Structure 1
Amino acid sequence: MEPPVGSFVMDGHTFIRPEKAVKSMRDMPLWEKSEAYKELMTFILMTNEVVRGKSLSSEIQISDKIKRLTALLDRLFEIVKECPPINQPQRFGNKAFKNWYEIVKSRSASLLEEALSSEVHLAIPEISVYFEESFGNSTRIDYGTGHEASFIMFLCCLNKIGYFDNCDKTAIVCSVFYRYLELVRTLQQTYKMEPAGSHGVWSLDDFQFVPFIWGSSQLLGHSIIEPHKFLDEEILAKYGKDFMFLSCIEYIKCVKTGPFAEHSNQLWGISAVPSWVKINQGLIKMYTKEVIGKFPVVQHMLFGSLLSVQPAATPFKSIF
């Protein structure tokens, strides 16, 4: 019987540096049947459930562990100040991002040692790789759902080694991940980052996906914000800071111009879905098909001892 997520025992475990394993389309079934796939999706569904009906401003317990992780992300905001954009001919892909990324990469081990309690420091050589890959590509100066997935894998690893307590689960999303979302938005705007592998108008969003999943779960059962209202300016003004889904819509409206139905057709179509339950379930299906079901994303994923490419004893099967 496989241990539940979060019950990993570190004693005697050998951590390894994660490496790529899905190198061609022929390897996709290996990924879809792997321990890593099951761990990632189980973690996403677990957190999807714990944030159900809870706003970002809900009274949730913020432990010292959560505070230290958000403080870690705050440090990365400070590094942005050390690396202001440079003057360059091209409009997009400001090369100052390379400086930011190199500083973060050079300091990641020490930053994680400071942020994480000593009992999990042995895992840092492995989990630091997921952390470093969470903020974009320093060569292409782009960011996409693969980088977002890397940060979720970082959180998933922490959960697997037992770093989080049960009382931390809601704050993983509402505090740590949301702070990460604010950080990568700052990086996107400061360094004019390109979308990685964008499908243009037919994609859900240029940069993110999972905040729409968790954000729709937050809105389940809301008495006022029905799906057809999430584009309403009054709703966004009143509730945009309370719900991640609405925060994402606000961000899109800030960075894109023109009719919403034209630049964000998929999201505009979602507003016609009758319930947040159907939206939430549909987004989970879409994520497995259009993000982690696509080779251009998965070819960059990394696999180690915590998120292994080895076959799971019982492969993940979606409940939707």
Structure 2
Amino acid sequence: MFLKPTKVKGSTSEDETPKCAFMVPKKEISMVPDMGKWKRSQAYADYMGFIMALNESVKRKKLTCDYHVSETVEKLLKLLATLERWIDETPPIDQPSRFGNKAYRTWYSKLDQEAEALVSAVLPADKGAASAEIAVYLKESVGNSTRIDYGTGHEAAFAAFLCCLCKVGALTVEDQLAMVFKVFDRYLEVMRKLQKTYRMEPAGSQGVWGLDDFQFLPFIWGSSQLVDHPTLEPRHFVDERAVNEHHHDYMFLECIKFINEMKTGPFAEHSNQLWNISAVPSWAKVNQGLIRMYKAECLEKFPVIQHFKFGSLLSIQPVAP
């Protein structure tokens, strides 16, 4: 499977990665025609391989099932707890505009200063040289401090962050379920708290025509969890009672619960795309459709991918033939 540690160019062996092999990731997609480079890149193949491997691993499994929790996963949860603690320590300020509370910038500057140290604490001692490269994806995953917004591109940076941890061998195939059910689920909690506390704008929102204002991946992995469910069908997620009863077990329903809390009015009006999805006959079809939609609406959209950064672990180089 994709999640094996990758030999970084210039390394003598898988365990002995010289410092010079890592690099601080940078933007490579500056114009619409550059999108072809992204689609052909090793980074795209690795990123999609990672998303699909996790999609497969969570199939038909509840959030509450038993799974392996490694030391690295525990360290990642500690990192996310630190980010949450900083939110509590940085309350929103009084300001005339309702959205985009400027206190977020104070919170973000703390992460900007500490990101490398936070990542260092997660990595095995012999992989410390990768911290500067991997920290960039962590910083990109929490929103934009200039615009005070958050969207699917930031969410993709967090998936890229986890992908890089796999590539250096800090996370392994055994961590797949914990990556989604523990780490990513906790990340969503912290992001929701950020969004609510600082009234962040949805980045590049398509409004009612988008799947969700902020997230996409939990709908993909969440629909995979529900494949072949004996009683819950896609039509049930628009029923608030079914959502309240089962949201602890399924990421998809957790997302719907959050939407129900944040938005008022008929579901079909504020979340039209999801309403349409509730008419799909099976969760397997929902899952396949969402993967196609994710590629088209997020990964193939220049406004999203122009912000993506490429280094040695997620490389802009084309996939070797």
TM range (shorter): over 0.9
- 2:193 corresponds to: 186
Question: What SS does the aligned partner of 1:230 have?
Answer: helix
- 1:269 corresponds to: 276
- Paired residue for 1:46, among 47, 50, 53? 53
Q: Is residue 214 of structure 2 the alignment partner of residue 214 of structure 1?
A: no
Q: Is residue 34 of structure 2 the alignment partner of residue 27 of structure 1?
A: yes
- 1:318 corresponds to: none
Conservation of the 8 A alpha-carbon contact between 1:5 and 1:39 = no
- Paired residue for 1:11, among 11, 16, 37? 16
- 2:128 corresponds to: 121
Conservation of the 8 A alpha-carbon contact between 2:2 and 2:46 = no
Structure 2: gaps of 5 or more residues: 7-13
In 2, Cα distance between equivalents of 1:6 and 1:63 = 16
In 1, Cα distance between equivalents of 2:228 and 2:126 = 40
In 2, Cα distance between equivalents of 1:44 and 1:120 = 23
In 2, Cα distance between equivalents of 1:25 and 1:36 = 18
RMSD: 1.1
- Paired residue for 2:242, among 235, 245, 256? 235
Structure 1: gaps of 5 or more residues: 315-320
1:166-224 C-alpha deviation (Å, 9 max, x unpaired): 22111100000000000000000000000000011000000000110000001111111
- Paired residue for 2:156, among 125, 128, 149? 149
Superposition deviation, residue 305 in structure 1: 0.4
* Identity, % of aligned positions: 52
Superposition deviation, residue 235 in structure 1: 1.1
- 1:317 corresponds to: none
1:300-319 equivalences in 2 (<5 Å): 300-314=307-321
Conservation of the 8 A alpha-carbon contact between 2:5 and 2:168 = yes
Question: What SS does the aligned partner of 1:11 have?
Answer: coil
- Paired residue for 1:256, among 263, 273, 277? 263
1:251-291 C-alpha deviation (Å, 9 max, x unpaired): 01111111000010000000000000000000000011110
In 2, Cα distance between equivalents of 1:58 and 1:143 = 30
Name the count of aligned residue pairs.
Answer: 312
Superposition deviation, residue 91 in structure 1: 0.3
In 1, Cα distance between equivalents of 2:207 and 2:2 = 38
In 1, Cα distance between equivalents of 2:149 and 2:238 = 27
- Paired residue for 1:110, among 110, 113, 117? 117
In 2, Cα distance between equivalents of 1:153 and 1:17 = 14
Conservation of the 8 A alpha-carbon contact between 2:92 and 2:101 = yes
- Moved runs in structure 1, 4+ residues, more than 4 A? none
TM-score (norm 2): 0.95
